[in-house]
Amino acid sequence: MSKINPLYVFAFFSFMAVVMMFQSGSLERKISQKAQQNAATQQLGKKIASMKNEWKDSKTALKKIDAVLNLKSLGAKVKSRERQGGSYKVVLAELNAREVDSLFAKLLNETVNVKSVDLVRNGDRNVTVSWEFTL
């Protein structure tokens, strides 16, 4: 009869302990990476939610549009403002190149949804601009 050497049993259990520690460390690293990814995804989700709220708020968008249109250089040029359902139409007439550039820069840098823009040339130096915004 052969006996099992206790040193072999001890070596086997020591080897299994080392393997389990290695696997445990590997699993902890994976969990840490997933937790970081989850935190990044949550931050992105919060950012997207805040941007959706900012872009979908029709009252704020209307205030931003009117603030730009009520500027001294553009206030007298506004010919009509119409709010129909989910859209807001504005017509500005007799704008020169500097006023058109200023208008486009200010309105396109705001968080408003532009549905359409129509430019009609009235002469060499005058332009009529028709904006339609989605509210």
Is residue 71 domain-shared with residue 29, that is, in the same domain? no
Is residue 69 domain-shared with residue 101, that is, in the same domain? yes
Q: Are strands 127-134 and 87-95 parallel, antiparallel or unpaired?
A: antiparallel
Q: Are strands 78-84 and 87-95 parallel, antiparallel or unpaired?
A: antiparallel
If one counts the domains in the chain, the total is: 2
Is residue 51 domain-shared with residue 97, that is, in the same domain? no
Is residue 9 domain-shared with residue 38, that is, in the same domain? yes
> Tell me, what's the pLDDT at 23?
96
Task: Give me the sign of the Cα torsion angle 79, 114, 112, 55.
Answer: positive
By the 10 Å C-beta count (0-12 exposed, 13-18 middle, 19+ buried), 110 is classed as: middle
Is residue 17 domain-shared with residue 29, that is, in the same domain? yes
Is residue 40 domain-shared with residue 64, that is, in the same domain? no
Is residue 62 domain-shared with residue 128, that is, in the same domain? yes
Q: What is the pLDDT of residues 108-129, one digit of tens each?
A: 888 888 899 999 988 888 899 9
The overall average pLDDT reported for the chain is: 89
The answer to whether the pTM exceeds 0.75 is no
- Residue 97 is part of which domain span? 58-134
Taking the C-alpha atoms of residue 81 and residue 65, their distance in angstroms, rounded to an integer, is 11
Is residue 13 domain-shared with residue 41, that is, in the same domain? yes
- Return the CATH number at 72: 3.30.980
Q: What is the pLDDT of residues 50-103, one digit of tens each?
A: 888 887 888 888 888 888 888 888 888 889 889 888 889 999 988 888 888 888
Is residue 14 domain-shared with residue 45, that is, in the same domain? yes
